[in-house]
Amino acid sequence: MGYRPPVRDMQFVLRHIAGMEELAAFPALSAATPDVVDAVLDEASKLASEVWAKTNVAGDRQASRLEGDAVKTPDGFKEAYTQFAEGGWNALVCSEAHGGQNLPWALGMAVNEMWQAANLALGLCPLLTQAAIEAIEKWGDDAQKKTYLEKLVSGAWTGTMQLTEPQAGTDLAAIRTTAKKNGDHYLLKGQKIFITYGEHGFTPNIIHLVLAHMDGLPDGNEGLGLFIVPKFLVNADGSLGKRNDAHAVSLEHKLGIHGSPTCVMMYGENEGATGYLIGGEGNGLKCMFTMMNNARISVGLQGVALAERAYQHALSYAKERVQGFKLGDKSGKRVAIIEHADVRRMLLTMKATTEASRALSYYAGSMIDRMRHEPDADRKKLAAARVDLLTPLVKAWSTDLAVETASLGIQVHGGMGFIEETGAAQYYRDARILPIYEGTNGIQSADLVFRKVLRDGGAEAKRFIGEMKDFCKDAAAMEKAIKALEETTAWLLTHAKTDLESVAAAAVPYLRIFATVAGGYMMARMARAAEAEDYKEKLVTGRFFMEAILPQVHGLVAPVMGGQSAITKMAE
């Protein structure tokens, strides 16, 4: 089963949800005219479907392997990456100052969805390079930008994000990798785990962004720094110098994304790995969150991509698999299973939730564009607040839905879905990492509640809820769902003053309520636009979301508002 990027739906969401016409009005994004947007989507669709997607199964079955301290990636991966980089795709949303194309982040999200759906294991490589670009662009000095950004933007080099360690997990204050000052640089020693594309042969150099404790600074978060640690040191003329003391020593054996090399990295087995501080002493976490927030939105988009791929696979099978009779048909003719009501329910669930999460993700992308390019200071500040609020929603909801959607895809296949040869199982295995990546979805829920809702007294949450109420004032289902969101938000704000444990226990169902309502808002906006364009398919999925998905929020109100007492009282 191949992959066909849903270009029409992407175009529709970019127009009516992301507001491409408004984004193109910003001088820096003026190149994003409708014909350019359509041409970008069409060309990306060709590379994704004709090249990248064809490497997906081979990548899963062959996996990456370590030979010495070099990684051998599956057949076709390097060639697919090379076509991607030579086509300028890595530079799409990057600044012209460093060789980028200055196109909107929202458009970049649509294109990135194609890479991730075509081959998630391969798509992880440029995703992390983008995070490294963001960090160096924001925190690097002029010399660092000159040395690294042009190569990273072009895709000639790739980047990694190296944060956690075996004893630390999410508690980054517990990391033990050290950085000691040595002239104009630092020497790093330690171990990092779960490092995606920490080693590979796609490019001659890899630029690692490594979090380490700085010698002489206090323990904990205040003592952390973020360091540029290249695989090969870079000479003054831009040529590559000696190999740095940083090596992959093993690859993790994983449930899914087998084609992606997930490395254990060792620093300083000899004299120490040369690293260059960015962002100043003790500012490691601040710099890290530039990468982390970028990656969280991108991982949410990976959830959309995997859900789309699983849906297409299940839909194709349901059209071809003949089994049973249509209810009420006395002819004795066997029919394809897509004619059975429960299969249609599963497929519509997959389709509607994917479309809602796509719209919410692209909407977040458009807010990133507004945050970056809006000349009015007040509007810029509001866009930044909206990005902050949306980030945990997009990351957690989209990735949870990806797992649920991939599981439904297996169910549509019946027993054959449990057999690897049909391919449905790969999407489930690949999707399962997404709710864990870049802060588990429990952490995203805590981030939503404590950092995004409680920190400003619910101001931005209430502003977003108000926008949804204004738009949906004549839609009964949405009005009822928004009321549930208002009630649970008020409960959190009240109980945060006296019972933080209960608030923490309520965070995950609260995020599900908020994201589902926000998804319903996206579907309502798209339905209004679809009526004007006679986009009947979109109207059907919108109606299904309102009738079958949105009402689920009401079953989550009790678990938020006091239904979690057992969580806090159960003996360890």
Closest Cα partner for 440 from 388, 384, 507? 507
Q: Which amino acid is located at 345 in the chain?
A: R
Please give the average per-residue pLDDT across 386-403, as a whole number: 98
Cα 2 to the chain's mean position, in Å?
Answer: 22
Q: Which residues span the domain enclosing 370?
A: 292-566
The 10s digit of each residue's pLDDT in 88-128 is: 999 999 999 999 999 999 999 999 999 999 999 999 999 99
Over the chain, what is the mean pLDDT? 96
Assess if residue 203 is contained within a domain.
no
Tell me what pLDDT residue 434 has. Answer: 98
Is 438 among the catalytic positions? yes
The 10s digit of each residue's pLDDT in 497-533 is: 999 999 999 999 999 999 999 999 999 999 999 999 9
Tell me what pLDDT residue 267 has. Answer: 97
Is residue 565 over pLDDT 90? no
Is residue 563 over pLDDT 80? no
The token pair that represents 486 in the structure block? 């208002």
Please give the average per-residue pLDDT across 328-338, as a whole number: 92
Domain of residue 497, CATH code = 1.20.140.10
Is residue 477 over pLDDT 80? yes
Assess if residue 326 is contained within a domain.
yes
The answer to whether 247 touches 170, Cβ cutoff 8 Å, is: no
Closest Cα partner for 158 from 60, 231, 70, 237? 231
Is residue 347 over pLDDT 90? yes
Tell me what pLDDT residue 517 has. Answer: 98
Assess if residue 138 is contained within a domain.
no
The 10s digit of each residue's pLDDT in 486-497 is: 999 999 999 999
* Structural domains counted in the chain: 1
Is residue 83 over pLDDT 80? yes
Assess if residue 222 is contained within a domain.
no
Assess if residue 336 is contained within a domain.
yes
The 10s digit of each residue's pLDDT in 207-221 is: 999 999 999 999 989
- Catalytic one of 165, 438, 460, 486: 438
**How many alpha carbons fall within 13 Å on the CB side of residue 199?**
24
The 10s digit of each residue's pLDDT in 256-295 is: 999 999 999 999 999 999 999 999 999 999 998 888 888 8
Assess if residue 259 is contained within a domain.
no
DSSP characters over 380-442: HHHHHHHHHHHHHHHHHHHHHHHHHHHHHHHHHHGGGGGSGGGSHHHHHHHHTTTTTTTS-HH
Tell me what pLDDT residue 1 has. Answer: 72
Assess if residue 218 is contained within a domain.
no
